[in-house]
Amino acid sequence: MNAIISAPELTSDLAGATPPVLLDIRWQLSVAKAAGEPPFDGRAEYAAGHIPGAVYVDLDQELASAAGARGRHPLPDTARFGAAMRRAGVSADRAVVVYDGGQGWAAARAWWLLRWAGHPDVRVLDGGLPSWEGPLETDVPTPAEGDFTPEPGAVQLLDADGAAALARSGVLFDARAGERYRGEVEPIDRVGGHIPGAVSAPTNENVGTDGRFLPAEELAARFKSLGATEGTGVGVYCGSGVSGAHEVLALAVAGIPAGLYVGSWSEWSADPERPVAVGPDPQ
């Protein structure tokens, strides 16, 4: 099954006998803003207009635990995550489609979490809400309670030691911007740089100017050129396990399974005992 769905395909599925559950995951990374600029409010964006039937899911509150030693977006409590998904109408035997405002990171986080928790049929709207050409609504739906119960472990989850080991034995992709990988700037975490041995692979290079993923064959060629050859273990990390999920999604589109280090750089760099590499080279 393809991990992404186009807007025309979604329109067709929504008109079917068993339409997918729609989840709206609009979110933006919180960084320092210009004076007087209000913070991004995904719920307000949702209230102003969303795909008919979509239920809003808060990434910070429902797709992550509180920030701390395990990173800025550690895994959510499994029971709490399951309850949030059931409130949104998610059931084990019904397809789910997730979307966000177009960047794709937040939707990919929801996609990855649901896959990790054992849901068999989850797709991301390619291009997000900007790709949708149908109507929007402001009514907030009240879906019937779903029956989804998380069973974690369906896809690979990496911890700090596992990520470090994979950087030596396989290929570990760093999905952040190149300047953060190189340690030239670090706007959020304690220190800049990257996990020793990790390869820079910015996730924004997996999409075109319209925000949609590049064709599968182009993605496969890109990742192969970066070391993801047949038989090689592949892992991904980013700042806090959000944009990294988008890279795992791109790898899935290319037909390459990959693990996600959810704690990512926000967990790794918080421990001064862990090594940090800087510059353009992996080591």
Residue range 207-224, pLDDT digits in tens: 999 999 999 999 999 999
How confident is the model at residue 39, as a pLDDT?
A: 76
Whole-prediction pTM value? 0.95
What structural domains does the chain harbor? Answer: 4-131 (3.40.250.10), 157-268 (3.40.250.10)
d(CA 152, CA 41): 30
When pLDDT is averaged across residues 81-94 and rounded to a whole number, the result is: 98
When pLDDT is averaged across residues 192-219 and rounded to a whole number, the result is: 97
The CA–CA distances, whole Å, from 18 to 23, 49, 60, 173, 243 equal 16, 23, 30, 38, 31
d(CA 203, CA 243): 7
Contacts of 149 (CB under 8 A, 6+ apart): 82, 92
Distance of CA 90 to the CA centre of its chain: 18
How confident is the model at residue 8, as a pLDDT?
A: 97
Residue range 122-164, pLDDT digits in tens: 999 999 999 999 999 999 999 999 999 999 999 999 999 999 9
How confident is the model at residue 148, as a pLDDT?
A: 98
How confident is the model at residue 36, as a pLDDT?
A: 57
Tokens encoding 75: 């895994």
The CA–CA distances, whole Å, from 93 to 19, 53, 66, 118, 253 equal 12, 18, 30, 11, 23
Burial label for 133, CB within 10 Å (0-12, 13-18, 19+), is exposed
Active site residues: 238
Residue range 22-49, pLDDT digits in tens: 999 999 886 544 455 677 899 999 999 9
